Protein backbone atom coordinates (compact mmCIF):
# COMPACT_ATOMS: atom_id res chain seq x y z
CA UNK A 1 0.00 0.00 0.00
CA UNK A 2 1.43 3.37 -1.01
CA UNK A 3 2.82 5.32 1.88
CA UNK A 4 0.85 8.33 0.63
CA UNK A 5 -2.29 6.66 1.99
CA UNK A 6 -1.13 7.01 5.52
CA UNK A 7 1.38 9.82 5.50
CA UNK A 8 0.52 12.80 7.66
CA UNK A 9 -2.66 11.17 8.96
CA UNK A 10 -0.92 8.81 11.34
CA UNK A 11 -0.08 11.49 13.83
CA UNK A 12 -3.74 12.23 14.35
CA UNK A 13 -4.44 9.28 16.61
CA UNK A 14 -1.90 10.62 19.09
CA UNK A 15 -2.86 10.30 22.74
CA UNK A 16 -4.32 13.38 24.31
CA UNK A 17 -6.30 14.32 21.23
CA UNK A 18 -10.00 14.71 21.93
CA UNK A 19 -12.44 12.37 20.16
CA UNK A 20 -13.92 15.41 18.52
CA UNK A 21 -10.69 16.55 16.92
CA UNK A 22 -9.75 12.98 16.01
CA UNK A 23 -13.07 12.59 14.22
CA UNK A 24 -12.66 15.89 12.42
CA UNK A 25 -9.54 14.47 10.81
CA UNK A 26 -11.40 11.52 9.34
CA UNK A 27 -13.43 11.74 6.15
CA UNK A 28 -16.90 10.18 5.93
CA UNK A 29 -15.76 6.82 4.60
CA UNK A 30 -13.05 6.54 7.23
CA UNK A 31 -15.65 7.21 9.90
CA UNK A 32 -17.89 4.54 8.38
CA UNK A 33 -15.03 2.01 8.47
CA UNK A 34 -14.28 2.89 12.10
CA UNK A 35 -17.95 2.61 13.08
CA UNK A 36 -18.22 -0.73 11.31
CA UNK A 37 -15.31 -2.03 13.41
CA UNK A 38 -16.69 -0.59 16.67
CA UNK A 39 -19.26 -1.77 19.20
CA UNK A 40 -21.93 0.35 17.50
CA UNK A 41 -25.10 -1.77 17.30
CA UNK A 42 -26.01 -2.65 13.71
CA UNK A 43 -29.54 -1.41 14.31
CA UNK A 44 -30.64 1.39 16.53
CA UNK A 45 -32.79 4.46 16.34
CA UNK A 46 -30.69 7.58 16.22
CA UNK A 47 -31.35 10.24 18.82
CA UNK A 48 -29.53 13.49 19.44
CA UNK A 49 -28.28 12.24 22.80
CA UNK A 50 -26.39 9.47 20.99
CA UNK A 51 -24.07 11.95 19.31
CA UNK A 52 -21.28 11.58 21.90
CA UNK A 53 -21.64 7.78 21.65
CA UNK A 54 -21.21 7.95 17.86
CA UNK A 55 -18.00 9.92 18.23
CA UNK A 56 -16.79 7.50 20.89
CA UNK A 57 -17.52 4.51 18.61
CA UNK A 58 -15.48 6.16 15.87
CA UNK A 59 -12.60 6.53 18.33
CA UNK A 60 -13.02 2.90 19.36
CA UNK A 61 -12.94 1.70 15.74
CA UNK A 62 -9.76 3.70 15.10
CA UNK A 63 -8.21 2.17 18.22
CA UNK A 64 -9.10 -1.33 17.09
CA UNK A 65 -7.96 -1.10 13.48
CA UNK A 66 -5.26 1.53 13.74
CA UNK A 67 -5.28 4.78 11.84
CA UNK A 68 -3.45 3.32 8.84
CA UNK A 69 -5.84 0.39 8.44
CA UNK A 70 -8.89 2.66 8.71
CA UNK A 71 -7.57 4.73 5.82
CA UNK A 72 -6.61 1.67 3.79
CA UNK A 73 -10.05 0.09 4.13
CA UNK A 74 -11.77 3.40 3.47
CA UNK A 75 -9.74 3.81 0.26
CA UNK A 76 -10.87 0.39 -0.93
CA UNK A 77 -14.44 1.24 0.07
CA UNK A 78 -14.18 4.45 -1.97
CA UNK A 79 -12.71 2.54 -4.94
CA UNK A 80 -15.57 0.04 -4.77
CA UNK A 81 -18.09 2.88 -4.67
CA UNK A 82 -16.44 4.57 -7.64
CA UNK A 83 -16.76 1.42 -9.76
CA UNK A 84 -20.28 0.74 -8.53
CA UNK A 85 -21.37 4.25 -9.53
CA UNK A 86 -19.98 3.70 -13.04
CA UNK A 87 -21.41 0.18 -13.32
CA UNK A 88 -17.87 -1.19 -13.70
CA UNK A 89 -17.70 -3.56 -10.73
CA UNK A 90 -16.10 -6.91 -11.45
CA UNK A 91 -17.04 -10.04 -9.47
CA UNK A 92 -13.52 -10.20 -8.02
CA UNK A 93 -13.51 -6.62 -6.74
CA UNK A 94 -17.01 -7.03 -5.37
CA UNK A 95 -16.03 -10.29 -3.69
CA UNK A 96 -13.10 -8.60 -1.92
CA UNK A 97 -15.37 -5.77 -0.79
CA UNK A 98 -17.89 -8.26 0.67
CA UNK A 99 -15.11 -10.20 2.36
CA UNK A 100 -13.91 -6.96 3.98
CA UNK A 101 -17.42 -5.82 4.95
CA UNK A 102 -19.55 -8.98 5.16
CA UNK A 103 -22.43 -7.23 6.95
CA UNK A 104 -23.97 -5.05 4.25
CA UNK A 105 -26.68 -3.58 6.50
CA UNK A 106 -24.12 -2.74 9.13
CA UNK A 107 -21.95 -0.99 6.56
CA UNK A 108 -24.98 0.94 5.38
CA UNK A 109 -25.79 1.95 8.95
CA UNK A 110 -22.16 2.89 9.57
CA UNK A 111 -22.15 5.10 6.49
CA UNK A 112 -25.39 6.84 7.49
CA UNK A 113 -24.14 7.45 11.02
CA UNK A 114 -20.82 8.69 9.63
CA UNK A 115 -22.76 11.34 7.68
CA UNK A 116 -24.53 12.38 10.88
CA UNK A 117 -21.16 12.99 12.53
CA UNK A 118 -20.00 15.10 9.58
CA UNK A 119 -22.79 17.53 10.42
CA UNK A 120 -21.55 17.51 14.01
CA UNK A 121 -17.83 18.00 13.56
CA UNK A 122 -17.17 18.87 9.93
CA UNK A 123 -14.17 17.45 8.10
CA UNK A 124 -10.71 18.99 8.23
CA UNK A 125 -9.50 20.03 4.74
CA UNK A 126 -6.58 17.57 4.85
CA UNK A 127 -8.91 14.67 5.54
CA UNK A 128 -10.98 15.19 2.40
CA UNK A 129 -8.62 13.77 -0.21
CA UNK A 130 -9.13 10.06 0.38
CA UNK A 131 -7.60 8.08 -2.51
CA UNK A 132 -10.03 5.75 -4.30
CA UNK A 133 -8.12 2.49 -4.53
CA UNK A 134 -9.35 -0.41 -6.64
CA UNK A 135 -8.78 -3.69 -4.80
CA UNK A 136 -8.07 -6.01 -7.72
CA UNK A 137 -7.32 -5.79 -11.43
CA UNK A 138 -8.70 -2.54 -12.84
CA UNK A 139 -11.63 -3.32 -15.15
CA UNK A 140 -10.42 -0.72 -17.68
CA UNK A 141 -6.68 -1.36 -17.96
CA UNK A 142 -6.46 -4.75 -16.23
CA UNK A 143 -3.90 -3.39 -13.80
CA UNK A 144 -1.51 -1.94 -16.40
CA UNK A 145 -2.28 1.59 -15.18
CA UNK A 146 -2.31 2.92 -18.73
CA UNK A 147 -4.59 2.82 -21.72
CA UNK A 148 -3.89 2.95 -25.45
CA UNK A 149 -5.98 5.41 -27.35
CA UNK A 150 -6.36 8.63 -29.26
CA UNK A 151 -5.91 11.45 -26.80
CA UNK A 152 -7.05 14.99 -27.36
CA UNK A 153 -4.05 17.32 -27.15
CA UNK A 154 -5.88 20.40 -28.32
CA UNK A 155 -9.60 20.25 -28.90
CA UNK A 156 -9.85 23.52 -30.81
CA UNK A 157 -7.35 22.54 -33.49
CA UNK A 158 -8.38 18.90 -33.51
CA UNK A 159 -4.90 17.77 -32.51
CA UNK A 160 -4.98 14.16 -31.40
CA UNK A 161 -2.16 11.83 -30.58
CA UNK A 162 -2.21 8.09 -30.37
CA UNK A 163 -0.37 6.44 -27.53
CA UNK A 164 -0.51 5.40 -23.91
CA UNK A 165 -2.01 7.59 -21.24
CA UNK A 166 -2.57 6.97 -17.55
CA UNK A 167 -5.72 4.96 -16.93
CA UNK A 168 -8.48 7.43 -16.08
CA UNK A 169 -10.15 4.92 -13.78
CA UNK A 170 -7.40 3.67 -11.49
CA UNK A 171 -4.75 6.37 -11.89
CA UNK A 172 -6.94 9.29 -11.12
CA UNK A 173 -5.72 12.38 -9.28
CA UNK A 174 -5.07 11.62 -5.64
CA UNK A 175 -3.68 8.16 -6.35
CA UNK A 176 0.04 8.31 -5.59
Beta bridge partners of 166: 146
Please give the C-alpha separations between residue 40 and each of 33, 66, 74, 100, 130, in angstroms, as whole numbers: 11, 17, 18, 17, 23
Q: Does 29 bind Zn ion (CB under 5 A)?
A: no
Note whether 55 and 114 are within 8 A (CB).
no
Question: How many residues interact with Zn ion (rule CB under 5 A)?
Answer: 6
Residues of span 64-123 touching Zn ion by CB under 5 A: none
Residue with smaller CB distance to Zn ion, 26 or 170: 170
Which segment (13-21, 72-80, 114-122, 168-176) binds Zn ion by CB under 5 A?
Answer: 168-176
Sites for Zn ion among residues 121-160 (CB under 5 A): 138, 140-141
List, in sequence order, every residue forming a beta bridge with 149; answer none if it has no partner. Answer: 163
Interface with Zn ion, residue 170, by CB under 5 A = yes
> Which residues are 161's β-sheet partners?
151
Which residues lie near Zn ion (CB under 5 A)?
138, 140-141, 167, 169-170
Amino acid sequence: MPATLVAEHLALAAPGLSIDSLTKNLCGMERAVALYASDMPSRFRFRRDLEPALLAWIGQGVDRLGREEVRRQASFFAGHRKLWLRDLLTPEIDRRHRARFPLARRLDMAERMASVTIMLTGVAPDARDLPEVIDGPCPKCDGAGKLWGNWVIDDASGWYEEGFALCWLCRDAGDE
